[in-house]
Chains A and B, each alone.
Chain A
Amino acid sequence: MNIIYFLLPLALVLGGVFVAFFIWATKNGQYDDLDTPAKRMLFDDENHTN
């Protein structure tokens, strides 16, 4: 059961890192528009059309 002393902090730190990343992304405006980017990426680049 000693492994728990390694895994427990790891799980907490990992969780914390992801929450921190989520907070950063939200504050940075990454989630301001949840629908459009998924479609926008489907368009061809300018030079490859025609």
Chain B
Amino acid sequence: MEIQGQKQTLLKCDHCEETIPKDMEIVSQDHVFCCHGCKTVYSILGSNNLQDFYKIRDDEGAKIAPVNKKVQDFSYMDDDSFISEFVMTKNGISTVKFYIEGIHCMACLWLIEKTPSFIQGLTSARLNIGDNTAVFEFTEQTKISELANALTRLGYAPHPLKMNESSYNLQKREERTELLRIGLAGASMGNIMLYAISNYAGADGFYRILFNWISFAIAIPVIFYSAIPFYKTSLQAIRMRTLSIDIPLSIAMLGGFFFSTASMLTGGDALYFDSITALVFLILLSRYFVKKATQSGLNAKGLQTFFTNTGVLKEVDGKFKSVHGKYISQGDRVKILSGEKIIFDVELDSDKAVIDNSIITGESKPQEVIAGETLNAGSINIGPEITAIVRTIGEQTRIGKIIKEIEASSKGQGKTVLRADKIAKYFIALVLILTTYIGIYSYIQYGLHEAIARALAVIIISCPCALAMATPLSFIKSLGQLKSSGVLVKNESVLENINEVKHIILDKTGTLTEGRFEVLDFKNMSSMRDLEIHSIANALEARSIHPIALSLKEYFNRYRLESFSIENFQIINGLGIKATIDGVSYFLGKVNKAHRDESLSQMTLVGLYNEETKEIMATYALGDKLKDGAIEKVEELLAKGFSLHIASGDNEGVVRSLGKDLGIKSENLHAEQSPEDKAHLIATLKESGKVLMVGDGANDALALQKADVGIAVGGAVDLSLRASDIFLSTSDIKVISKLITTAAETNKVIIRNFAFSIAYNTAGVLLALNGYVSPLLAAIFMPLSSVTVVLSSFMGTRRLNKCFKVQQGDLK
């Protein structure tokens, strides 16, 4: 393929089909790619005869995101403490379950399930495309870290889900029981209807009695098996001295059943078997759908094991020996190899180290540390190997404390009670009081039998059914639409919180920007070819471990460069590097003021000079690019009247210039924020209104947990993914305004549903009060009110429908 000729037209990546920015293509044989990630995936697929992936993808018309390659260390997954929490072993076969980020289409399903054909020891892989979880079975030959690495190389982000034997079986049993309860209630409802309608239609004599008995028999499993969850929550509510919609439901179910039975035995006519089974079925079903739409299994439990490591090199008698992390105690001297994750808070013993400290700062920009300074647990050594002295371990480390706090606050939280449900409580109280009143009144007037009949009629006819379904149904459509556009809501009640949000805090790196410190611009000012320039610069940087050098080398990796031998290598501190190649002396480093390009003022400029002529040959501009559409997005949010904040671990200057570009007030810019600072910021802002936090890094996790609404954006690390309420599987933050619209519109639907159900309720109560009590009335009233609520929910609102229609257009 002639690259030279292709340069004029726009190149498209052969893997993800994204347009490649000019001169950024990576060429390999006959193909072009936008990044190394995509190239890797393409070659993995090619070498394993899995090119069908592209065929299936094209058939589906789906779009694959470019592979975001982040350095990740999965070695903790081979540790015993991780295995005991997340892996189930039975008869020599181990099972691990991952939530897989980055599932787009059927091609992904196909690829994931093909992994056993090229990962050693993997015996089976099953993906559930409904909730994006995959279960992998493997023998002893496979290391889980290797499996996770393989998935990462394919462009997916695996997040382990808790699965030891007991919890796995428990969850499975619970899910199946739930389905059984619904199925049984549905079948009973359908069958009872057959006999009930016959009776309403006028069956009499023997048939009527027979049909009553059959209805009674069919209703038994519904009342004593399917309806159990209602009784449980009612008892819980009573114990906690609150009101729950389940209380009148339980009274209606149990009371209706026993009264109908008594009525049947005494030859009466007040039989509600059909209505109460329908009640159980409809409410169970609506709750099941909401649960299905929110369930993800990504909770904050077991996070501590992510910071363990099997092999730690500990100094014993002057030699370094590999020992398990748990045998390390304070004061031990350890060696940390290049690329290894540090799992303790340590004090650096070597002269210098370069680390990726994104866990604390959120910045992927490499950081330089000098002897005596502290390295936090969770940071990765990206320079050469170093030695260090362990200062604190386990829960006492800084990250350990943060995790502990996240776990603690996620435990205490539970589901917040929706305001709608709070209003419903008053209504429930009203119904219960009315019922008692009618009961007493009828008892005085007409006697016991009539008192029970009328009181029950009020409860059953007053249709708690519609009321109980009003909120869950409203969520189903919104949650479904959000899910299909890549927004996973882990807890539906936060949608309500979104409506009251006043402050929005945005993380900078990875949320507003791409989160990679990389070469964004290259200018060749000499007469040499680009490749020659790169070769020279590469040779100069070869020995340097300076953060900028590491980013430059990453950039050079994409080219096939000549290697030169260098002489007179010299590091000029704070300025750059000087060396001689083929008799010519070069300097690579800080750019003279005269050569600065104003348009690149926010980036770090590195220049290549010819030392003899002092002439500039080329410049490299490094920086972290703003995400596409970030500016429009921020403007949109500002226009909606939110008070917008930026909280970043980056330095003042960068945050300030970014804030200026985005039009955010300078007092709302918070730079150099540690994870604890961000959490503190949220606590302060909470005093004046609800806070929504958007972030991605481990340093945002605590803040995401503390905020009223925590949103983790795509590519987020496990820690923040699990601490958040909402998780965007795209890194496109434009979705956030959709989320805000959806939340507002969902609220409207809830209110509308309430209006309908309360109208029906009032009518029902009035009828019952006046003595119009008959099972037929209930049999007509209940389905009617329920259907109204269902229709109202699924029609949504005009804006809700429009919001997602536009998006579908975007995709095409």
Contact = CB atoms under 8 A, between A and B. Distances in A.
Interface of A: 4, 8, 11-12, 15, 18-19, 22-23, 26-27, 29, 31-36, 39-40, 42-44, 49-50
Nearest to A19: B187
Interface string B182-208: 011001000100100000000000010
Interface in B220-277: none
B735 interface: no
B187 A42 contact: no
Given A32-B175, A49-B52, A43 B110 contact: yes
A50 B183 CA distance: 43
B128 interface: yes
B129 A39 contact: yes
Nearest to A33: B128
B216 to A, nearest CB: 13
Given A23-B180, A34-B130, A35-B130, A40 B187 contact: no
Contacts of B214: 8, 12
A11 B194 contact: yes
A36 B183 contact: no
Interface string B549-585: 0000000000000000000000000000000000000
19 contacts: A8-B214, A12-B191, A15-B187, A22-B183, A22-B184, A22-B187, A23-B180, A23-B183, A23-B184, A27-B180, A29-B172, A32-B175, A33-B128, A33-B130, A34-B130, A36-B130, A39-B106, A40-B113, A44-B52
Interface size class of B (residues with CB under 8 A): 20 to 34
Contacts of A31: 176, 179
A22 B110 CA distance: 29
B681 interface: no
Contacts of A49: 52
B contact face: mostly helix, strand, loop, or mixed? helix
Interface of B: 52, 56, 106, 109-110, 113, 126-130, 172, 175-176, 179-180, 183-184, 187, 191, 194, 207, 210, 214
Nearest to A42: B106
Nearest to A38: B129
B184 A19 contact: yes
A26 B179 contact: yes
Given A11-B194, A49-B52, A36 B129 contact: yes
Contacts of B210: 8
A42 to B, nearest CB: 7
Contacts of B126: 33, 36
Contacts of A40: 109, 113
Contacts of A29: 172, 176
Contacts of B113: 40
Given A11-B194, A39-B109, A26 B176 contact: yes
A35 B113 CA distance: 15
Contacts of B180: 22-23, 26-27
Contacts of A22: 180, 183-184, 187
Contact of A32 (B56, B176, B183): B176
Nearest to B56: A43
